[in-house]
Amino acid sequence: MAVRTPSLPARAVALLLVFLCARAAASAAPDTTAFHVLQRTGITGTHTDYHGYDCCNFTFEGREAKIVVPKRAAPGHPWLWRARFWGHEPQAELVLLEKGFHLVYCDVSELFGNAEAIGIWDRFSAQLIAAGLSRRAALMGFSRGGLYVYLYALAFPDRVSCVYADAPSLDFKSWPGYKDAGKGKHPLWEVFKREFGLRTDEEAIAWRGNPLDRAAEIAAAGYPMLHICGDADMTVPISENTDPFEMKILAAGGRITVIRKPGVGHHPHSLIDPSPIVGFILKATAERH
Task: Read off the pLDDT of residues 264-280 as tens digits, 9 standing for 90 and up.
Answer: 999 999 999 999 999 99
pLDDT category, 15, cuts 50, 70, 90?
low
pLDDT category, 5, cuts 50, 70, 90?
very low
pLDDT category, 12, cuts 50, 70, 90?
low
Reported pTM:
0.86
Residues in the chain, how many? 289
Predicted pLDDT of residue 37? 38
Query: Taking Cα atoms as reference points, which of 90, 31, 20 lies closest to residue 56?
Result: 20
pLDDT category, 183, cuts 50, 70, 90?
low
Identify residue 91 by its one-letter amino acid code. Q
In angstroms, the CA 105 to CA 223 distance is 21
